[in-house]
Amino acid sequence: MTINEASERYNIPIKILQEYESWGLCGEVKKIMGSWRYDESDIERLSVIMTLHDIGFTNEEVKKYMQLLVSGKSTEKERLKMLSEKRNGTLDEIHFKEKQLDRLDYLRFEIQKGNKA
């Protein structure tokens, strides 16, 4: 499947596909008559890339993670560490937002209490 077909079929921006190709992770991608051809293993890797982007990984973090993934099972510990760090950062953000909501609710409560009096 070509880059345009992969982009349309899986709703992956061309920019992401080009980035993927530039990282040299396309071991299964064939260049035929000037256009890339993707197979199912490439689509699986692209799915991981999209997931990593969706959960907040930067381009550099995605690149590092994917290089580790392609390197094989021996990198599982390092990949798990990267995911755990992202998870912990996300939890910190959630807790901060919860505190903000508590403060907002308090201010709303104070206004509503004043209107009832």
Regarding whether 61 and 11 lie in a shared domain, the answer is: yes
Q: Are residues 54 and 80 in the same domain?
A: no
Q: What's the pLDDT tens digit per position in 18-38?
A: 877 777 666 545 566 566 677
Cβ count within 10 A of residue 63: 19
Q: Give residue 108's pLDDT band: very low, low, confident or very high (50, 70, 90).
A: very high
Q: What is the pLDDT of residue 25?
A: 64
CB 50 within 8 A of CB 12: yes
State how many domains the chain has: 2
pLDDT digits (tens, 9 = 90+) for 34-52: 666 777 878 888 889 889 9
Rounded Cα–Cα distance for residues 36 and 31 (Å): 4
60 in the same domain as 16 = yes
Q: What is the pLDDT of residue 87?
A: 97
Do residues 90 and 65 share a domain? no
Q: In whole angstroms, what is the distance from residue 13 CA to residue 28 CA? A: 20
Q: Which domain holds residue 104?
A: 74-117
Q: Are residues 9 and 61 in the same domain?
A: yes
Same domain (yes/no): 66, 81: no
- At 61 the pLDDT is 95
Looking at the structure, do residues 58 and 10 belong to the same domain, yes or no?
Answer: yes
Residue labelled with tokens 């035929």: 32
Count CB neighbours of 65 within 10 A.
20
Query: Are 27 and 78 contained in the same domain?
Result: no
pLDDT at position 114 over 90: no
User: In this predicted structure, what is the pLDDT of residue 58?
Assistant: 93
